[in-house]
Amino acid sequence: MAEYATPQEEWHDFLSGTHPHLQDKSPLRLIPSKPRCKLCQAPFGSPGKFILARYGYAPWSKQPRICGRCFKSIGEHAQMCPGAPAGQEIRGGEVEISMLFADVRGSSKLAREMPVIDFTRLMNRFYRESSSVLIESDAIIEKFVGDEIVGLFIPFLTGPEHAARAIETAQELLRVTGHGSPDGPWVPLGAGVHTGTAFVGMVGSNNASDFTALGDPVNIAAHLASQAAIGEILVTNEATEAAGLTADGLERRHLSLKGHPVDAVVLSATPLAPASG
């Protein structure tokens, strides 16, 4: 009797970048115009977009380098797996990812000290420029929460180097916000990076679902970022090890995050050297 993958296994293979369908050569690559979806090669520019956009082949809001149709198709493919129960509730899988949380330090104080319109312009600039950095790094913008941005670095987009990409992106966020520059930052930022196995997928009802990551590693990353001072990136040992980077000569910090002990290194906007050997 043939053995079939479960929907969760299908999701895992897609998210980890190992699913055979990700290696297929899409015929959409033959339709002219760039830029294109990194997965299915659907064109986002004219003239192709006028035909394909109506079918869902348009940039996905959480990562405009891929189309919304591609991510929807993952769930649809898992639903069609032999043995998948009707109304399958679990639409995702467990996979090792890296997470970047970055937020504006002292935003409440800034809001009190600035005219409302000026604070709004500041936060809009932060959202705009941080989004651009995450998108260029192939991260999925999981959400904006008040003064915080959350990026997910998932193997099917970043490849196995997701931890290194998350660390580099955190450092780029500090650079574009002016940390380390002679004039100082135009917005005070702190960040945290962690690598771990989390549930990644669609959560909620069919009418109100969202793509997200859940699990203890996500909580660790969130709490880690809350402990970073202005201009700091706290990176867990799990993330530096997964990235193959050395922390020799860097400040190490032992933290208790909601009772969970975590060891981290403290980085700035300066690039971290690869581990020797």
Q: How does pLDDT run along the chain (277 residues), one tens digit per residue?
A: 345 567 777 778 888 877 766 666 777 877 878 888 888 888 888 887 778 888 888 888 888 888 888 766 665 555 544 444 444 556 788 999 999 999 999 999 999 999 999 999 999 999 999 999 999 999 999 877 778 999 999 998 899 999 999 999 999 999 999 998 889 999 999 999 999 999 998 776 665 567 889 999 999 999 999 999 999 999 999 999 999 988 778 899 999 887 788 999 999 877 655 555 5
- Domain membership of residue 105 (yes or no) is yes
Strand-pair category, 148-153 with 208-214: unpaired
- Domain membership of residue 2 (yes or no) is no
Kindly tell me the sign of the dihedral angle through the C-alpha atoms of 183, 187, 190, 194: negative
Q: Residues 82, 101: one domain?
A: no
User: For residue 79, which of 3, 21, 6 has the smallest C-alpha distance?
Assistant: 6
All residues at 6 or more sequence positions from 233 whose CB lies less than 8 Å from its CB, including other chains: 167, 170, 171, 174, 190, 191, 192, 193, 266, 267, 268
- Domain membership of residue 145 (yes or no) is yes
Q: Residues 225, 155: one domain?
A: yes
Q: Residues 14, 139: one domain?
A: no
pTM assigned to the model = 0.86
Domain boundaries, position 29: 7-89
